[in-house]
Each structure stands twice: as structure tokens, then as C-alpha cells.
Chains A and B, each alone.
Chain A
Amino acid sequence: MESSILESVGTEIIGVMSPVSLCMLLVVLLVYSLSSSNPLSDPPIRTAANLVYIENPQDSTSQKLEGALLNALVFVVLIAIVTFLLVILYYYNFTNFLKNYMRFSAFFVLGTMGGSIFLSIVQHYSIPVDSITCFVLLFNFTVVGVLSVFSGGIPIVLRQGYMVCLGIIVAAWFTKLPEWTTWALLVALAVYDLVAVLAPGGPLKLLVELASSRDEELPALVYEARPAVSNSERNRRSGVGHLVGGVSDSGSVELQAVSRDNVDRRENRGNPEYTVVNADSFGSVEHEANDDAVEMLPLVGHLREGYGSSSGSSSEYSTVVVNRENEIVMEEEMSPLVDLMGLGEPTGRDALEDGVAASRGIKLGLGDFVFYSVLVGRAAMYDLMTVYACYLAIISGLGCTLILLSVCRQALPALPISITLGILFYFLTRLLMEPFVVGAATNLIMF
């Protein structure tokens, strides 16, 4: 009996959602276990995210609002400057410098920020570890992390694991920001993301286009949802600060594929490798593009089929023509606390080599991981109910973004929809739902 299509549809989406969920879960656990021990005992730390104003619980609301907005503005401007700097560096081919910078950033994040989180866990649970062991462990963890994140030949699982780790560490630091600043920052970043990726001249858009015209992967921290295909040795990613997700749609594997409009589109991109002719990428895109999101799922799910498990040997596709387009979702993230600013680089290159398509998975910038987790972590400081609501909202926003991706086939910002929904659901839950549910449940009334 043939396997039903239920098993293949949606695999891509789940491949992205599960690490995001894992990251959020761990951040929430971290926030819970660590914040309960020393509520508010931390003096506010001054970071890039609150240069202007340090929130003080006694300040009036308007002061807080003004300060938070200023903080967010300064932070976003900083990020924009750094991103433009990156674009310039990349434009003049300082790729090695960028990569090494990203390596350093990853080392720094894993070593110092990760180390301090590790220490506070050790303290909180009174784990008996001596300082030498602790140092050796931390050093090994960091070195393996840097290697796995930036070089080839490392199992994809390890790399994905470290990506999630980086996300968790940076997000855990962000949750130490004061409440108003966090909200203002999230909104500002979502807006910035939207502009940077979609507006003409936006830095992330420039980066993506530059990368795809050079047919190489940008150095940026990106989570790849599916096993990477062993393409030519590319710079994998780097950039601590940013995340970009490139999504490539691998085309469907149909023998008589009808060449669709995307063939032209590819040709426009000027990639030489398009010798392959018919590919029908996403045969279904056309099909009712206006349907609602749920209905689009098959399209995205479709991607999966094109590739064999991991290192896609090119021969697999020899008879089949596959089209693919890379799409890049970008997000940027920055790890502001430290002076690393985000460098978002999208990796969008077309992976057609010699007429063989190596398909690539959906990519999600680390920044998305971080800011989703920051939102959930902030929600965790209020109540579990808001955590669930925010989680569902973010995941559904991510789902919508992925579906849009399969429709638009260009790099999309992953933050705006999710963050908007997340914030909306947070306040709806907090203001409306909680009194209702608590009122009913404490009287043991349920339905």
C-alpha cells in the first residue's frame, strides 16, 4: 500500500517550526527557572538596546513610553548602519573578513554569554562542578560550536543544534531588557525587517540580490531546515547577528513537467546553470493562489519531495528536471547586548549545478529565532497562559510567512507577521481572556 500524501505534505513547514518551538520552549524554561530565583535583583544592564534610557519601575508611563521608543529607535538605527556596512563590505568582496568576524561573534556569544547563563544555572541548582572542569567543558562546547557553525563536513544535526543554542543564548539575554523597551524593540524590529527586506534599497534586500547574482551564500547565521546539500564549498553562514532565511523551493519531480513562468524568471536571474529545462517548480502555485493559508500547505510541503535525504548527490536528479528558486527569507537579528550587531545575510543562491538541482531547505534567520523567543520569554514573565497564546500566534504567523513564501518566491521578512500576531495575542490574552478563564475555572466551570 502506497504511503498516503499525508506523510509528505507539510514536512518543510514542520522542519522549520520544530526548531523554533524547541528554541522557544528552552527559553521559557530558562526564564522560568532563573527568574524565580532572583526576581529583579539584576541591576539593569546597559547594552546597545537601551543606550538612551534605562527603565525604572517608578517612572511615569509617558516617560517609559518615550524612553522605550527612543531606545528602540537608536537600536534599529545602529542595526541599519551595521547592515549597510556589511553590504558595503560584501560588495567589495571582503568575504573572508566577514566570515572571520562572524566566527569571532559566534565564539564570543557561545563563550561569554553562554558561559554566564551556564554559570547562573550552576549556581541556581547548586550543581557541584569545579572551575577547571567547567572551563574545559565550556571551552570545548564553544570551539565545537564555532567549527560546526562555520565549516563544512560537520553533521547537519550538530550545526542545527548550535544554531538553536545561539538563538537561545541571545534570546535569554534579551529577556533581561526591561518590559517597555522589549515591546518597543520588538515592534521596531518587525517594522525594520519589513523595510529592510522588501523596500527597494533595503539593506537586506541588497544583500540577497548581491548574493544571488554572485551565486554564493552569504556569510550569515541561518538555520537550514533540511540537510544541506553538499554544494560547492560555500561559505556557509556567519554572522551572528543576523539571520536570514533563504527558502528555496525545490521543484517538483515530475517527469513531464510543464515549464512554467518561473523558467523565465530564472533566466532573468542570469544564472548560467539553467540548462535544465522544464521544471515545474511548485506545480501548484498557480492553483488557487488566493486560497487561504491552510489550503496552501500542500504547496510548501511539496518542496520536500525533491530532495533525497542529505547530501543530495546530483545524480539523483538526473532524469528529473527540478526547478528551484531560492527564496530568501530574511530576518535579521542582532545580538545587541554585545556589540555584535546583526549582519543579516541571506543566502540565496540557486543551487543548480550542471543541470542538477540540489535542493535546499527553507532557511530561517537566527534573528527570527531570537526575537520569537524574546517575545515568548517576555510573555513567560507574566503567565503561562500568555505563553501558550503567544506561541500559537507566532507559529501561525510563521506558517503564514512560509505560505506567502511559496506564493511570492522572494525573500520575505519572517518577523512582521509573527511579531504582530504575537503582540496582539499577548495583550488580548492578558486583558480579555485571563479574567474570563480564571473566573470560570476557579468556579470549576468549563466547557
Chain B
Amino acid sequence: MTVTAGIGYALLALGPSLSLFVSVISKKPFLILTVLSSTLLWLISLIILSAVWRAFLPLKSTTWWPYALLIITSVGFQEGLRVFFWKVYKRLEDMLDAYADRVSKPRLFLTDKMQIALAGGLGHGVAHAVFFCLSLLTPAFGPATFFVDKCSQIPFFLVSAFIALAFVTIHTFSMVIAFNGYAEGNKVDQYFVPVVHFVAGMLTLVNFASGGCVIGIPLLYVMAFLSLIHCGKMVWRRLTEHQIRQGNSL
């Protein structure tokens, strides 16, 4: 246990992101930079939020509504940030295209754009997992573990790793969905993302009930799979459409 357990928790939360990083991101330096800058953006958003909420802390852990308020403001702020990220990305895409023209290379492919979105989402997700799960994990490397009263069946670290994994998935793929939604002007996708994020945040409130985590976490995973499936379907649709269009143009 101890070190083994700590590494296990960390991999549980970040393992999928790690493999995604190694297999897709790490080969393309630009995507690594995208991950880093999106992580930084998320960190800044967290710092701003905590500066705003600092005056009200610590919240009493018996009442749930201040936390609901906290989630509403946070999700709202972060979704606003996503729009900002999109605007920045848009300018960047133009620059990259201009640059590609200059060096006589092809412009960004559809898959490139999706990979950039994926990298941006991964940055958000990793930042979430790092700050909400990994940074609290230090005691887990020691000889003891820790239980929260309201979820006494599972060690706290394990629960937070589970939750972090769900959020990493949601953040990563909802960025792809959102970017495609903005690019196509598809209203459904544009609203799908904030709603999923918001619902997922609200579902963590279930953990306030004693033993609530047994119900809350599976529900959270339903949201994660929902965004995963939606993203998969959307990417598939766009890729096939793209191929058909290319086939026609040839």
C-alpha cells in the first residue's frame, strides 16, 4: 500500500488522459502547447473563482445551498471562459492557416482541428483532476487513509479519483463538442455542453446526503458516458460527411 496506493489513485484519475496524451498529443508539439495553455487558463479561472469566494469561506458543511451557489457561479464562469477560448482558437486557426500557406503546406485538416479541440479539452480536464484530486493525494502516499463522514464506505481518495475521472472525461470531450458546435453554428451542441457540465456539477451535490456518493457517482458516470457517446457520434458524422464531400469533389 502507501506509495502503491497513491500511484494507483493518481492513475485511476489520470490514466486515460495519460494514454490519450501519449498516443495523440505528445507527437505534435503544438498540441502539447495547447494542453499547457488550456491548463493554465483553467488554473487562472480557478484562482479568480476562489478569490471571489474567499470571503465566504469556509462554508458550513451542513448546508448544501451555498455549495449549489458555488457550483452555479463556477460553471457559469467556466463556460464563459470556453467561449473566450474558442475566440482565441479562432484567431489562432487563421494564423496557422496563413502560416501553412506561406510554407506551402496544407492547411489544417478537419482532424487537426478536432485534435486541437481535444487537446484544449484535455487541458481543462487534466487541470481539474490535478487540482481537485491529485493535489490532495499527498497523504495517500503515507501509511494511512482518510474517510469522509458522508461517504464512509470508500476511502476519500478513491472517491475523489472516481469523480475526477468522470470530470476529466466530461471536460475533454465536451470541448470537442463545443468547438464543433461553434464551428457549425449548431445550437444543440452549443447548449449541450454547458448543460452537461452544470448537471454534472449539481450531481456532486448528491454526495451531501449520507451515503449519497453511492448514487451520485454512478449518475455522474452516466453524464460522462453521455458526453462521450455524443462526441463520438458527432465526430463520426462529421468525418463521414467530410469524406463524402471530398469524394464528390474529386
Contact = CB atoms under 8 A, between A and B. Distances in A.
Interface of A: 2-11, 13-14, 17, 252, 254, 283-284, 287-288, 291-292, 294-295, 297-298, 301-302, 305, 383-385, 388-389, 392-393, 395-396, 399, 425, 428-429, 432-433, 435-447
Contacts of A441: 132-133, 136, 160
B245 interface: no
A436 to B, nearest CB: 3
Across the A-B interface, the 4 shortest Cβ-Cβ residue pairs: A436-B50, A385-B135, A447-B201, A10-B29
B181 to A, nearest CB: 20
Nearest to B131: A437
Given A385-B131, A446-B132, A435 B167 contact: no
B33 A297 contact: yes
B28 interface: yes
A445 B58 contact: no
- Candidate in B28, B54, B201 with the most chain A CB atoms within 10 angstroms: B28
A229 to B, nearest CB: 20
Contacts of B130: 388
B204 A298 contact: no
Contacts of A440: 67, 70, 132
Contacts of B47: 425, 428-429, 432-433
A5 B105 contact: yes
Interface of B: 27-33, 36-37, 39-40, 43, 46-47, 49-51, 53-54, 57-59, 61, 67, 70-71, 74-75, 78, 88, 91-92, 95-96, 98-100, 102-103, 105-106, 108-109, 112, 115-116, 128, 130-138, 148, 150-151, 156, 159-160, 163-164, 167, 197, 200-201, 204-205, 207-208, 213, 216
A395 B130 CA distance: 16
Given A4-B105, A295-B92, A432-B51, A287 B213 contact: no
Contacts of B88: 292, 294
Given A384-B135, A442-B156, A447-B74, 17 more contacts: A5-B96, A5-B99, A5-B108, A7-B27, A10-B32, A14-B29, A383-B138, A384-B137, A388-B131, A437-B46, A438-B136, A439-B58, A440-B67, A443-B61, A444-B148, A444-B207, A445-B204
A254 B213 contact: no
B138 A7 contact: no
B57 A437 contact: no
Contacts of A10: 29-30, 32-33
Given A11-B29, A13-B33, A428-B47, A444 B213 contact: yes
A432 B116 CA distance: 31
Contact of B150 (A302, A435, A444): A444
Contacts of B159: 444
Contacts of B75: 447
Contacts of A302: 99, 103
Nearest to A387: B135
A434 B54 CA distance: 10
Contacts of B103: 5, 252, 254, 302, 305
A98 to B, nearest CB: 35
B106 A4 contact: yes
A287 B98 contact: yes
- Candidate in A10, A252, A392 with the most chain B CB atoms within 10 angstroms: A392
A297 B201 contact: no
Nearest to B39: A392
- Candidate in B105, B137, B159 with the most chain A CB atoms within 10 angstroms: B105
B70 A4 contact: no
- Candidate in B134, B135, B167 with the most chain A CB atoms within 10 angstroms: B135
B30 A297 contact: yes
B117 to A, nearest CB: 12
B112 to A, nearest CB: 5
Nearest to A437: B131
Given A4-B105, A447-B75, A436 B57 contact: yes
Contacts of A7: 27-30
A12 to B, nearest CB: 8
A295 B138 contact: no
A443 B33 contact: no
A294 B135 contact: no
20 contacts: A4-B112, A5-B99, A5-B100, A6-B30, A10-B33, A14-B29, A287-B95, A298-B99, A392-B40, A435-B57, A437-B46, A437-B136, A440-B70, A440-B132, A442-B136, A443-B148, A444-B148, A444-B204, A447-B75, A447-B200
A5 B204 CA distance: 41
Given A6-B30, A442-B156, A437 B201 contact: no
- Candidate in B106, B115, B131, B134 with the most chain A CB atoms within 10 angstroms: B131
B29 A435 contact: no
A384 B138 contact: yes
B108 to A, nearest CB: 7
A429 B130 CA distance: 13
Contact of B95 (A14, A295, A429): A295
A384 to B, nearest CB: 4
Contacts of B205: 445
Contacts of A395: 36
Contact of B208 (A14, A428, A436, A443): A443
Contact of A4 (B78, B109, B164): B109
A432 B54 contact: yes
Contacts of A429: 47
A297 B99 CA distance: 10
Contacts of B197: 447
Nearest to B46: A433
A222 B41 CA distance: 31
- Candidate in A11, A252, A441 with the most chain B CB atoms within 10 angstroms: A441
A384 B130 CA distance: 9
A317 to B, nearest CB: 16
B107 to A, nearest CB: 8
B33 A432 contact: no
A14 B135 CA distance: 25
- Candidate in B29, B136, B163 with the most chain A CB atoms within 10 angstroms: B29
Contacts of B95: 287-288, 291, 295, 298
